[in-house]
Structure 1
Amino acid sequence: MKKIVIPTDFSDNAWNATKYALELFKEEECTFFLVNTYTPAIANSRFMAAAINGVTIEDSVSLASKKGLQTVVKKIKKNYDNPRHKFNIISSFNLLVDEIKEIVEEENIDLIVTGTKGSSGLEEVFMGSNTVRIIKSIKNCPVLAIPELFDYSSPIEMAFATDFNRFYSLSELQPLITLAKTFKSVIRIVHVQYEIKALTELQHFNLGMLRKYFNEVEHYVHTVSELNSVSKTLEIFSSELDIHLLAMLNYQHSYMEKMTREPVVKRIAFHTQIPLLVIPELGMAPPSNAFKKEQKVLVK
């Protein structure tokens, strides 16, 4: 049974991510952890009342959080009643990232599904600040970020962005391989180059290993010239090939790290496009439940 965390602030954006997760895993046994956190302001002014009609501010916010989660579950059961799916609600006085980190560790979570939302003008942020914090902070669980206006589509065309400079382990790529097998997807390995040139010996080796890892799924390799920025290039590539999901590993000097550091003006449209699966660098961190199942598989 898969264990999936879905943070929610009860917005349309969060509901869209919830719908995507329910559709994506409709054929699988899953336990969903619906999480809402709250941090009410401390009443430290003589002009602010710490309690209204005997109910403290914290109690009031806590009650609203729990009621909101119960409403989400009712909405799910009304629109997506699925006997394969179970739901746990978690309402916590905590910071969202800290709470998710604790749940991932305690419950051995397989995946985090979160909505993304950008602001406008000077407040524009890449995929939404909470999403970026989750991606940067959670080191042992994949994160699937769903754009707020994206309508569900089975991920039969997926892209995996890489520069071939790092050796990937089979365990790290397992979430992507599992999805590809489930939906009989095509994986398009996309390499963005600032200047088109031949691969180095190391890059050739890493590409060869990727082909071995993907030997049971249909896959192709695409090399494309960088257009303005990595994020813009991947956005155009995904649009032209009708990609339904973009995946990449998150490690030092990776595309993911570069994209979160790019000037806002260069990446402004990216967060509105397609779901993004961010796979953490396992390193010495304990693998999550999804990874453990196939660690014993050796590539021949």
Structure 2
Amino acid sequence: FLKGVKVTEMVQNYKIFSEINEVAKENNIDLIIMGSHGASGVSEIFVGSNTEKVVRSSDIPVLVIKEPSPLFTPKLVVYACDLRVESIKAYHSARALFENWDLKLHLVYVNLPNEEFMSTGEIKKKAEFFLKVAHNGAVPSNTEMIYVSDYSIERGIFNHANDIQADLIAIPTHGRSGIAHFFKGSIGEDVVNHANLPVITFKV
């Protein structure tokens, strides 16, 4: 299955996980891919595991695969979107990578029953501004903005991905400061632990 693919083997004795990011930069790597393991599977990914450390120190996208797949060709992707202008960098990184696949992208904003709750009109106005800035007013035909209401961001993302039978969940991160601000708490418990889906992260 690696026919026609250039493979370079390398062995490193890492003391800090940021060294993986340095190796990726030195070799002009576009994507880091990691597999989950252990009885609890991906539930450990973002809870102090090696994968979390790689995600936090990586300047390039990190794709985490939970289960073997004979062919990774995602057709429907759920992108967790907080509608903040400062998150557009990560969104553009995701779109640049997704251009390699013929897929449909759901930008999912989760409305919570707390101090950040917004009316439908307020969400729509904020979403329109985000898309206007991100795409100069011309939203690609393969992109759809979705608003869902749930008790946590994690549950909202997972439930929507499950409902539409998505192939991949994409999440923006703040790098060394951890998962994006709206993923306070354990994203592993509510999204990755319950989803048999690959998860890809993009640095904000």
Compute the TM-score of the two structures, normalised by the length of structure 2: 0.77
- Does the alignment pair 1:188 with 2:106? yes
Pairing partner for 2:150 from 226, 240, 252:
226
Equivalent residue number for residue 8 of structure 2: 88
Alpha-carbon distance in 2 for matches of 1:211, 1:113: 28
Equivalent residue number for residue 37 of structure 1: none
Structure 2: stretches of 5+ with no match in the other structure: none
Cα gap change, 1:254 to 1:188, in 2 (>3 Å): farther
The letter for the 2-side match of 1:108 is N
Cα gap change, 1:104 to 1:181, in 2 (>3 Å): closer
Matches within 5 A, 1:98-117: 98-117=18-37
After TM superposition, the runs of 4+ consecutive aligned structure 1 residues lying more than 6 A away are 252-255
Matches within 5 A, 1:27-38: none
Alpha-carbon distance in 1 for matches of 2:192, 2:126: 33
Residue pair 2:56, 2:178 contacting (<8 A) in 1 also: no
1:147: how far off?
Answer: 1.3
> 1:179-199 CA distances to partner (integer Å, 9 max, x unpaired)?
433322111110001045132
Residue pair 1:245, 1:276 contacting (<8 A) in 2 also: yes
Pairing partner for 1:207 from 131, 134, 153:
131
1:126: how far off?
Answer: 4.0
Equivalent residue number for residue 157 of structure 1: 76
Cα gap change, 1:238 to 1:151, in 2 (>3 Å): farther
Equivalent residue number for residue 60 of structure 1: none
SS in 2 for 1:89: coil
> 1:189-231 CA distances to partner (integer Å, 9 max, x unpaired)?
100010451326655422322454873451111100123x222
The letter for the 2-side match of 1:189 is L
SS in 2 for 1:206: helix
> 1:110-154 CA distances to partner (integer Å, 9 max, x unpaired)?
11111124654xxx634561111111112x211111113566442
Residue pair 1:186, 1:218 contacting (<8 A) in 2 also: yes
Identity between Structure 1 and Structure 2 (%): 19
Residue pair 2:158, 2:190 contacting (<8 A) in 1 also: no
Equivalent residue number for residue 65 of structure 1: none
Equivalent residue number for residue 146 of structure 1: 65
Structure 1: stretches of 5+ with no match in the other structure: 1-79, 282-300
Equivalent residue number for residue 262 of structure 1: 186
SS in 2 for 1:261: coil
SS in 1 for 2:98: helix
Structure with larger Rg: 1
Of 259-268 and 235-244, the range deviating more from structure 2: 259-268
Alpha-carbon distance in 2 for matches of 1:143, 1:261: 20
Aligned-CA RMSD value: 3.2
Alpha-carbon distance in 2 for matches of 1:205, 1:89: 45
Compute the TM-score of the two structures, normalised by the length of structure 1: 0.55
Q: Which has the higher contact order (CA 8 A, sep 6+)?
A: 2
Alpha-carbon distance in 1 for matches of 2:86, 2:80: 14
